[in-house]
Chains A and B, each alone.
Chain A
C-alpha cells in the first residue's frame, strides 16, 4: 500500500490544531458549502442534508485522526490509500469553514491569489490563514501523490 509520511514542525503546526478543531466542531451541524436550492420537497431535502452531514463528519474525523500520538511525539502525519480520499474532502470542508468564519475580511480575490502579508494580520486572522494554507498544502500533497488511489477507489 502506498503511504506518504510528512514530518511537520511541531511548534508551528500544533498551535493550529485548536483552530482546526474549532472548525471541525462547527461542521458537526453545518455543511461547509452552501446548499444551493435544488427544488426538493422538505422531507427529501432534510434527508439530503442529513446524508451530506454524516459524510462530512466521517471525513472530518479521518482528518483529525491524522494528528495522533506519532504526530505529537515525532511531528509525523501519514496518508495512505485508505485515508487520502476522506482527508482531501475534509481539508476542503475546513477551508470553506475558515473562510466563512475568519477569512472573509481578506476578500475573495486575496484568498484566491494567496497574496497576504501575514505580519499585517491580527493574531486570530493570521492563525486562521496559516491553517488555510497548511490544509491546502496537505491537499496538494495528497493530490500529487495519491490521486490515482482516489480515482481508483
Chain B
C-alpha cells in the first residue's frame, strides 16, 4: 500500500474511533509560497486535480492574493491522496475538517 492510497487500517479496537475521527468532509487547502511560479501552480492544479485552465488560474490567483485556496473537499481518504500528490509537486498543502454538514 502506498501512502497516497489509504490510511484506514488498524487494530479492530482502534478502528471505530478512527472511523469517527475521519468521518465528515475534509478540505484540501493549498498555501502560498514566494517561490513557485504562477504557471507552475496552474500546471499542477490541472495535472493533479483535473482542473481546466480557467479553474486552475482562479485557484492559483486565490493562493497568490489571499494566501490560500480550498482546492477540493470530500472524504478524508481522498483528501489525503490529493494532499500527498500536491506535496509531491512541492505545493504547501494542509487538510482542514469541514464543520459544515
Whether A52 pairs with B43 at a CB distance below 8 angstroms is: no
- On chain A, the residues within 8 Å of B33 by CB distance are 33, 96
- In this assembly, does B47 line the interface, its C-beta being within 8 Å of a C-beta of chain A? yes
Q: How far is the CA of A120 from the CA of B90 in the complex (A)?
A: 30
Whether A92 pairs with B90 at a CB distance below 8 angstroms is: yes
- On chain B, the residues within 8 Å of A52 by CB distance are 84, 87-88
B53 CB to nearest A CB, Å: 10
- In this assembly, does A78 line the interface, its C-beta being within 8 Å of a C-beta of chain B? no
Count of chain A to chain B residue pairs whose CB atoms are closer than 8 Å in the complex:
74
- In this assembly, does B61 line the interface, its C-beta being within 8 Å of a C-beta of chain A? no
Q: How far is the CA of A96 from the CA of B88 in the complex (A)?
A: 13
A117 CB to nearest B CB, Å: 18
Q: How far is the CA of A3 from the CA of B87 in the complex (A)?
A: 28
Which bucket holds chain B's interface residue count? 20 to 34
- On chain B, the residues within 8 Å of A140 by CB distance are 37, 39
Which bucket holds chain A's interface residue count? 35 or more
- In this assembly, does B71 line the interface, its C-beta being within 8 Å of a C-beta of chain A? no
- On chain A, the residues within 8 Å of B25 by CB distance are none
- In this assembly, does A12 line the interface, its C-beta being within 8 Å of a C-beta of chain B? no
- In this assembly, does A136 line the interface, its C-beta being within 8 Å of a C-beta of chain B? yes
Whether B87 pairs with A151 at a CB distance below 8 angstroms is: no
Instruction: Please report B residues at the A interface, Cβ cutoff 8 Å.
Output: 2-4, 7, 31, 33-37, 39-40, 43, 46-47, 80, 83-84, 87-95
Instruction: Please report A residues at the B interface, Cβ cutoff 8 Å.
Output: 31-40, 44, 47-48, 51-52, 55-56, 88-89, 92-93, 95-96, 99, 108-109, 111-112, 136, 139-140, 143, 147, 150-151
| 5 additional A-B residue pairs with CB within 8 Å, beyond A36-B31, A111-B35, A143-B43 | A38-B94, A48-B84, A52-B84, A92-B40, A143-B40
